[in-house]
Structure 1
C-alpha cells in the first residue's frame, strides 16, 4: 500500500507539472479523470494513496482529455515495485476501445511514452503536454512511405529550384558547370546518396536510431538536409531538432539549411526565436544551452520533435548532454567524423583512467550504443581514405618540426632545469610533454615556431602570399603572444602590406571573434578587408587566424592551406577534427583583365601542410608517412639537455610572483557578518550595470562574460570580489559556479539549486540513459546519491573493502548485494559524467 501511495503521489505531481488539470482553473476545465469515474476532490486527491488505492478492477488509472473532453491519453499507473511495462498489452486494448493513440506507463519512478501508431514505448523523464501531443497527433507517420521515397542526386536541388533542368544553361554542356555554381545548386554525391539509402534500409529493418560515420569535409550537413527532407516530405516528422556542440556552428547550420531547404521549410535558431519556434519545421540549438540547468525540460515536451539529429555526436551526446538527447522520443540520427576503429589497438585494461585515449574510447563506445550500433558497425561509413581515393578530399603534407626544448619535453627523460629554492639551493625540475600546456611558456620557442611556419608555409597559388592558415595554441594568452610575433615578422618581411592584420587572434575573449571566423571563410574572404598582393583578387588580408579551440569542430573554410599545431594534443577526436580543417578541395580562381577580354586563371588545391611542433602525428599515427621533416636551427642559449645542467630558466619558463595585496583578521559569528550576507547583492548591482556584460548576455556569450568578470571585475580594489567570498555570502549547501551566478543575476534561472536538487537530476539522467527495471530504481537512487556525496562510500568501492558496508550509515550490505551489475556501473558512470565539485 505504501509503495502504491508513493507512486500515485509522484504521478499526480508529474501530471500537474506538465499542465494537466485535476480541477477547473483560469487555464481551463479539468482534463484528468479516473478510469473508474471516481469523483476527485482536493481532499481525496491529497489522500490519494490511502482512500482508494485499489478498486475491484485493480489499480485506479487516469484518462487525459483533450479540449473537447474526448479521451486523448491513457495513463497506466503501477506501484513502485512493479514494472510499468507489465500492463502494456492490457492498456493497448483499453486504448483501442477508447480510440486513443497515446499511452503513458508509469510507476512513479520510471515512465514510458507509447505512440501506438509508431512502435515501442520510449523512456521519458517528463510527461508530455497537451499542446505537444497535438503536434504529434496532427500527422500519421508511416515508415513505408519513408522507405519507398525516391531519393536521387537532385533531391536537394529540386527544393532549391524545382525547374532548374528547364534552364537553357543546364541543357548546354559548356554552361552547365557555371550555371550550377552561380545558382548554388547542391547535388548529392554518390556516397551521400548511399548514406540516405542506408538509412531507408535501416528503417525498413525496424530501426529508429542511425549513425553516420563520415570524414570531415564529406558534407554531413548536406546529407542531414536530405534526411530532414526525407522525413518531412514522407510524413514521418513534422518538426526536427538539429543539435550542435559549439555556438559558432548554430548560425553555420542555419545558413546551410536555409540555403538548401528554405523554399519548403522554415529554419530557426531556438534562442533567437523562443516565442515562435513552433512555427518552424527545423530548429537548431547547441546542446550545451539546452542542458544547462536542465533547460530542455522546462522549454520542451518529450514529443515536441519527431527527428533529432546530433552533429558531431561523439561530443554533443557525451557528458550530461546525453540526457537531453534521450529526453525526446522519435527517430534519432548521429553524425560523427571519428571512426570507432581509430582506437582499435587500445587495450582498455592496460590504459590509465587519466589517459585521454581511454576517455575517447568511452565516448565512442557510448555513441555507438546510443545509436543502436552495439556491434561497432554504423548505419553508414565513409572514411577519409575513401574520400581521398574518390577524389573528394586531400591529404596533408605533415611537417614535423621540433625545437630542442620540445624535443626534450617529448622524451622519456623530460626537460630538466635547475631552480633555486627558498633555501638558496639548486633543485632539479623535470617538465614533460603535458607540462607545456600549463607550466611552460617560452618566448624564444614561440618565435622559432612562427619563423619556421612563415619560411615554409604553402603559398596562395594565385597571389603568392602565405596561404590561409589556422594556428592552434595552448591558451588565450599563448594565442595573444603568437599573434604578436607573427605580425612583427610579417611587417618586416612585407612592409606596408598588413599593418598588424597579417595574424588575428580568434578566441572567446576577443570581441566579434565569432564574426571573424565567418569572414575568414572562402565564401566571405574579407577578414580585415581584401588582400593587397593582387588587385581584384578576392582573398582575406588576414592570412592567419590564431585560436585555441574555436575553429575545430565543423568549421568550414575550404581554401585553408596550412594548419599549425603549436600545442600538444591528447585527444584523438580533437586531432582528427583539427586535421580535417584542411582536407577540403578548393579551386583558386582569378579573373585577369586584358583589354576587353578576361582571362580566368584557375589553380586547384591538391594538398595542405600540417605543421606539427609537438610530434602529435607521431603520437597518434606511428606509421604515418611523413612527407617533410624540418630540422630547426639549434638554440645557442641552450646547454646541457636532460642532465640537470645550468639552463637559463628565465628564457624558458615564466616565473610569476603573487604579491599579498590585503590582510585582515577577525572573528566571525556563525551567521556571518552583514557585509558577507550583502556581498552578492553588491556584486549583482555591479554586473547588471556593466554595459559589456549586458551586450553579451543578449548573445548568450557566457564564456566571454566569465573571462571578462575574472579579468576585469574580480580582485579589484574596493570590493575584491572573488568566487570564494561570493559563495560564502550565498550560504548554499554546495559550490555555486560563476556561470550559475550570472544566470541568476539576469533571470535565466529563478533560484540556485540545492545539493538535493542536483542529486535528483543526476539520478533522473542515469535512469533516462540506462533504463533500469522499475524495482531497481529506489536502490539505484540511494546508491548514486551516497556515492556522490559520501567519501567513505567511494573509498569502500575503490579499495574493494565491501565488508565496511556492514557499518556504513547510507548503504547496507544487503542493499549493496541487491545492486548487482549497478554496483560497478554507477561508480564508472559518476567518474565519467558527474562533476563532484558542484556537490562540495
Structure 2
C-alpha cells in the first residue's frame, strides 16, 4: 500500500491491511469460512497450595473452513519486521490440533505455504495474489483424505447451530469428523474414548444430528444404563431433536419416533416377556449410540450384549472414558480400536479439565495391621476372629470406630482450613460405611449442621431421601448438600461440576472404577471458581496414578476362557444377574432408585422380580469394635506435574522447571529484565506460564520482588529485599539531578517500590493515591516536576534502572 511503511505496522495491522484482503480476493467468505483469533485451548491450570492460575494460551490468527465445523487451513501472521516464515512452527502446532494439511505463515509480503498433501515439496513461497481459492483447497483436501463422491453428503452435512455461538472444541471436532468418516466408509462398529468431563454426550449429539439430517441414519437409539444419564441427555444436549425424540418407558418401543433414548433395563430383563426390544424388527434401528460402553455392554455374556446383537445390522458407536480391558472383558474386542482418543492428561494440559492435588494420609493400623486380644468380643458380643486385620479389611470385615472418627476428623479439618462449603464426595466401602461416615461427619460439624441439616447427606441407592438430594448436590447454584457420603451410586454418571474434594476411603482394585471416581472432580466451572480439586486418599488408591495404564491406551489382554468378574468391576450387569453392588437385599430398596423423574440410578425390574439374591449366610460377616488407639502417622501432598505424573515438590521446584525453557542462564534473564520497558510485561509473561508469585513469595520471603525471587529460586543467587534495593538507590543520591518536586515524586515512588513492588511504580495511576494526592492532580505533578508525560515516564524508567543497576547480590 502506498504511503504505508510495513515495518512499522503491528501484527493486527498486517492482518487487516494485507492478509484479509488477499484471502477475500481469492474467494473466501468472511462470514462462514474465515474465523480470526481462534482459541483452541483454554490454558492449563497450575495449582500449588490453595492458589491456582491458568497459563495463558495463544490463539490461531486465522482458521479457514470449508464450512462451519470443517477446518481446512491455518494462517499465522507476524509483524513485517519479522521474516516471512517466522510463524510457521506456531501454525503447525495449531494445524496438528485441527488435523488440517494446509498452513500459511506470513508477514504481509507473501506466504510460506506448507502443504501436507504435496510431500514432494512441503513448503513453498507464494505471493499475496496467489493465495488458493476455497475450491482449490477443498479439492486438495478431499484427495488427501481419499473421500469418494458417496461419502461427501455425510462428510459435508452441517453441524447443529443453536445460535448461541457454542461450537465443538477441537478434539470434539476430531471425534465427530473421524466417526462420520468411519461410518461413511461402511464401518459399523466405532469406539470413541474421551475422558470424563470432555463432552461425550454433546459429541454424540452432533454425530447423530449430522447423520440424521443427512438421512443416512433415520431411526436412532441412544442407550445408557442409568436414568440420570438418559434424563440429562434428553433435557440438555439432545433437546434440539424436539418432537422427533422420545424416552422409552413402560417397556414399549414407539415406532412413531425417530430418536429413541433408552435404558438397558427398560429394554430387557431375565424373562422373555421383559425383552421389549423384540417388539420391533432387528433392522428397526439404523444407529445405536452406547453411552459408558465400558460397563455392562462390554462383557460378551452380559444381559446388555443381547440388545446389541439383536440389532447387529445397525451401526453401533460406543462412548467411554475408560476402555475396559481385563482378562474377561474387552470393549475394544467388540468395537475395534478407538477411532479417536482424548485422554485426561490431554484435557488437563489443554485446560479443559481440572488438575488435582493429592493429600495422602497413612493411618498406623492400616500400615501396621491390628490384631484383637485373645477372646476379644465386638460391640455386638461376637467373638472376633483372631488374625491380623489390615487396610483392605477395615470397613469391609472389621469396623473400628476410632478409624472412622479419624478419617472424618481429617476431612473436617481440611474443609475448615480451606472452604467449609466446598462440595465433597466421600467414597466408602459400602452403605453401612457410608452411614457411619455420615454420622461421624455430622457430629464433627455441629455448627454447619445447625445452619442446614443437609450439610452432610448419605447418597446411596438404598436411601430415597438421600437420592432425592442428588440433583441439589450437583447443582452449582444449590449450596446444600455440601458433603455426600456414598459407595457406588455416585461413582459414575454424576456431573458434579463444582466438586472440589474427592475422599477415597474405599478399597479400589479396578482401574476402570478408579478412573470413573476421579472423573467426579475433573470438570471445570470458571463461573464458580472451580479450576482444580483435591483428592484426600486414605487407602493408597492414588498409587494407580503411577500405573502406565491410567492414561495410556490399554492393550487387549482378554482371554477366551470365561471367568468371573472381579468384585471391584461389578457393574449394572450384576443387577440383572442378581448381585447388588451396594451389598443390599432387594428389600433395602437399592435397586428401586430409578424413576421417570430421573432422580435415581437404576430402574427396577418389573413386578418386583429382582433375581436370585445371595442368601444371608453368604453375606460377609463384620466385626464392630472400639477402644482402639488410632492415629495418622504420615501426610504427603502431591501435585499434578507437567508430564502428567504426581510429584512431591515445592513451588520452587516447579518454578525452576518452568523457567528453564525460557531463560537458559541468569545472564539471559537479567538482560531481558533490564531491557524491558515495563517490568510488568515480563511478570505477566511468567505468570502466564503458571508462576504464582504470591505462592513463591510465601515460600521464600514476602519482601522480595519477582526479579529477586527468580534470581534466588532459579539461579541460586542470594537476593536483595526491596527495602535493601531502595536503600542502595538512596545511598547513591542520584536524585540531585532533578528539581525539588521531581525529587519528592521519585523518592516517594521508591518508597512505594520498597513497600509494594515494581508493578506499583510502573502504573501512572499511582499519582492519584496517597501521598501524591497531597501534591496536586497527576497532570499538575507531571507538568511541575517533569515538564510532560514522556519526561515523567523516562524518569521512572531511569529509576528502575537504578533499582536494578548493581549486581543484584551486592550491596
Per the normalisation by structure 1, the TM-score is 0.45
Per the normalisation by structure 2, the TM-score is 0.47
